[in-house]
């Protein structure tokens, strides 16, 4: 688990000023992968006290643009954030409770899926969302 010093180094390495809100957001995303903005706001407020919604949105935007966090938007869900960046992994989403877990690429290099037609695009990423029911929801259903 990264330390505050690690987060400071990450921010400086991305040419971002080190601020308490940025450290708190980065820590929240690392500690709670796949969290939505509302949850991150709550975690940041628990850590640093009062901070505006807009400040957290601005920090998330800056961290995403710098490549320190990744924003995912599973269909039918609000945007969620994770700290696992740079590896083109995918996600599995529970149809019942909405739980999300990481899934490594099945095979190949990035992108791990080659489309039948690229329409002239220089493709550098592929995103797959697997859907099903998590173990807890399967067990509860009997």
| pLDDT tens for each residue of 79-108 | 999 999 988 788 999 999 999 999 987 665
| pLDDT tens for each residue of 109-120 | 655 667 888 899
pLDDT (average), residues 55-67:
97
Candidates 60, 50, 51; CA nearest to 25 is 60
- CA–CA separation, 114 and 106 (whole Å): 12
State residue 49's pLDDT score: 93
- CA–CA separation, 50 and 1 (whole Å): 25
State residue 66's pLDDT score: 97
- Cite the beta strand spans of the chain per DSSP E: 35-36, 70-72, 80-82, 90-94, 100-103, 129-132
| pLDDT tens for each residue of 16-36 | 999 999 999 999 999 999 999
What is the value of pTM for the model shown? 0.86
The mean of the pLDDT values for the chain is 91
Percent of the chain clearing pLDDT 90 (strictly above)? 73
């Amino acid at each position: 688990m990264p330390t505050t010093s690690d987060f400071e180094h990450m921010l400086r390495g991305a040419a971002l000023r080190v601020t308490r809100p940025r450290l708190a957001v980065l820590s929240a995303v690392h500690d709670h992968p796949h969290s939505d903005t509302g949850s991150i706001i709550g975690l940041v407020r628990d850590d640093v006290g009062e901070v505006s919604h807009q400040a957290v949105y601005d920090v998330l935007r800056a961290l995403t643009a710098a490549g320190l966090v990744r924003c995912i938007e599973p269909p039918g869900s609000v945007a969620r954030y994770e700290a696992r960046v740079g590896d083109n992994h995918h996600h599995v989403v529970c149809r019942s409770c909405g739980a999300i877990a990481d899934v490594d690429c099945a095979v190949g290099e990035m992108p791990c899926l080659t489309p039948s037609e690229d329409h002239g695009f220089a493709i550098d990423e592929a995103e797959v969302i697997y859907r099903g029911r998590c173990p807890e929801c399967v067990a509860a259903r009997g």
